Amino acid sequence: MAKQTDAIELQKNFALLIDGKLVETENFLRVINPATEKVFAHCPVADQTHLNTSVSAARRALDAWSSKSYEERAGYIQQLAILLREHKDFLASLLTQEQGKPLSQSVAEIDRGASQSEGIAGIEIPIEALVDDEERYIELQYRPLGVVGIITPWNAPVNLALGPLVSALYTGNTIILKPSPYTPLTTLKMGELMREIFPAGVINFLAGGDELGHEMTKHPEINKISFTGSVETGKKVMASAAGTLKRVTLELGGNDPAIILEDVDPEAIAKKIFFAAFVNSGQVCMAVKRIYAHEEIYEELCSALAKEAKNAKYGNGLDPENHLGPIQNKMQFNKVVGILEDTKKIGARFLSGGTLPDMPGYFFPPTLVTDIDEDSRLVREEQFGPIVPILKYKDVEDAIRRANDTPYGLSGSVWSNDRERATKIAKRLRVGTAWVNQHRATSAYVPFGGAKESGIGRQYSILGLKGYMEPEVLSVVK
């Protein structure tokens, strides 16, 4: 574990960060630990005045920040990664208490956030010479957009804040960040740490409900919204941003298929598929949400996955014995229970789970379902919880058609011992990312985002970074 620095001692009180100052507020929201259902902290809530003050500060800071070189800005981001690692014990414990995921996964989220930040800040964005002949010189360069509003969800608040935040800052923008009202605390603490590094106004951290997010999307002085959340809210964000023609990057939901071909060894892949479906109790945008298994290996795969489900201990994430934590909030718990009830009503077969434990906390056992209709809620909707269908197929063409028969298009995977055949099939998935013999692998250098209704634009990589910039052509007659 990393050592704590003496320089910054983090405490369990929380403040907004506006123009380099920690700001307390009159209004608070109560943050519930989903493993106990008890309020464990109070979080300040920003109002319209806080938002306006933050936006003004971000605009004032823009000139000096955008005038720095990429290398200079990368230097600030490297310091951020160091601070995150130094304080990861504190941050990870806070993340588990507000989000619910096991402590080891909170530590991994912070480690990954730190290394992805370093990765993003190492990407070169060259000026592109398009024409350079006897008559003309034409180049394409990229300028920062200005003030970027970042809005994040509750399933991975650290990672999903750091990706857009570092991308926006590295490319010369200043930012206003608003986390989900369900998980605002770790984000505010990151703001407190970053205050030690970044000049006043460059970073502003607010907390608040959906209304604050809406105010950001229509604010005339915010130039771009980077939004991660549900498809439904993504559409509202885009409609509202249209009023000021803001640029948007939308990272939205998914209903990821995994197609398992007949030549796999079910025992050998079960652990990987189970993890890809149930990590963070299924509350991952790119988790496997539908498993299509060839009839020849179907029964064996069902048994192997059911064994994994039965061995996966769930409970309070602070207890290292537990592999899975609770569902993050009551609203989502009720939604997943609604899908469970529908699945029972239509007579599907349960291989594991399906019965809720009698204990405090939004706990839901890992539940695998078979013999279920393709038109059921569990197959059609993004369940975003620990209940996953296994669907049988005979002809792979039919599996590809069913996998693509959804408005979602975030990602998907194909599993086989024949890599070439699996690759050909993966290329036919209509998704932002198609994996072969893996699922859920991302990197700072590889673009990530959704096809179809799973989003617009990409995060990470040079492609993602260009989404935080305006392309400008310079054309010179010689």
Catalytic sites, residue numbers: 251, 285
| Site for ligand NAD contains 325 (CB under 6 A) | no
| Site for ligand NAD contains 180 (CB under 6 A) | yes
By rule CB under 6 A, what string of x and - marks binding of each residue 18-57 to ligand NAD? ----------------------------------------
Distance CA 16, CA 146 (A): 21
- Cα three-residue angle 230-234-236, rounded to 5 degrees: 125
Selected binder of ligand NAD within 99, 167, 217, 461 (CB under 6 A): 217
Distance CA 314, CA 186 (A): 23
| Site for ligand NAD contains 161 (CB under 6 A) | no
DSSP H helical ranges for 6-121? 48-67, 70-86, 88-99, 103-120
Q: Which stretch binds ligand NAD (CB under 6 A): 59-67, 150-158, 185-193, 460-468?
A: 150-158
Give the nearer residue to ligand NAD in terms of CB position, either 178 or 323. Answer: 178
How far from the centroid of its chain's Cα atoms is residue 314's Cα?
22
Query: How far apart are CB 157 and ligand NAD at their closest, in Å?
Result: 9
Distance CA 42, CA 14 (A): 8
Lookup: tokens for 153: 């969800």
Give the nearer residue to ligand NAD in terms of CB position, either 86 or 256. Answer: 256
The helix (run of H) or strand (run of E) holding residue 204 is: strand 203-205
Lookup: tokens for 84: 């995150």
| Site for ligand NAD contains 253 (CB under 6 A) | yes
Give the nearer residue to ligand NAD in terms of CB position, either 17 or 151. Answer: 151
User: Phi first, then psi: what are they for 272, rounded to 5°?
Assistant: -65, -40
Distance CA 122, CA 101 (A): 30
Q: Which stretch binds ligand NAD (CB under 6 A): 51-59, 147-155, 312-320, 336-344?
A: 147-155
Query: How far apart are CB 46 and ligand NAD at their closest, in Å?
Result: 12
Closest CA to 144 of 172, 182, 174: 172
Q: Which stretch binds ligand NAD (CB under 6 A): 17-25, 60-68, 146-154, 416-424?
A: 146-154
| Site for ligand NAD contains 228 (CB under 6 A) | yes
List binders of ligand NAD among 254-283 (CB under 6 A).
Answer: 254
Give the nearer residue to ligand NAD in terms of CB position, either 102 or 253. Answer: 253
Query: How far apart are CB 190 and ligand NAD at their closest, in Å?
Result: 15
Give the nearer residue to ligand NAD in terms of CB position, either 214 or 392. Answer: 214
User: Phi first, then psi: what are they for 214, rounded to 5°?
Assistant: -60, -45
Using alpha carbons, list the distances in angstroms from residue 265 to 119, 262, 370, 411. Answer: 35, 9, 20, 23
Neighbouring CB atoms inside 10 A of 397's CB total 11
Query: How far apart are CB 205 and ligand NAD at their closest, in Å?
Result: 13
Give the nearer residue to ligand NAD in terms of CB position, either 230 or 437. Answer: 230
| Site for ligand NAD contains 461 (CB under 6 A) | no
List binders of ligand NAD among 419-438 (CB under 6 A).
Answer: none
Q: Which residues contact 375 (CB under 8 A, 6 or more apart)?
A: none
Query: How far apart are CB 377 and ligand NAD at their closest, in Å?
Result: 15
Lookup: tokens for 303: 């048994």
Distance CA 174, CA 68 (A): 12
Distance CA 30, CA 35 (A): 15
Selected binder of ligand NAD within 14, 76, 142, 154 (CB under 6 A): 154
Q: Which residues bind ligand NAD (CB under 6 A)?
A: 151-155, 160, 178, 180-181, 209-210, 213-214, 217, 228-230, 233, 236-237, 251-254, 285, 382, 384, 410, 450, 455
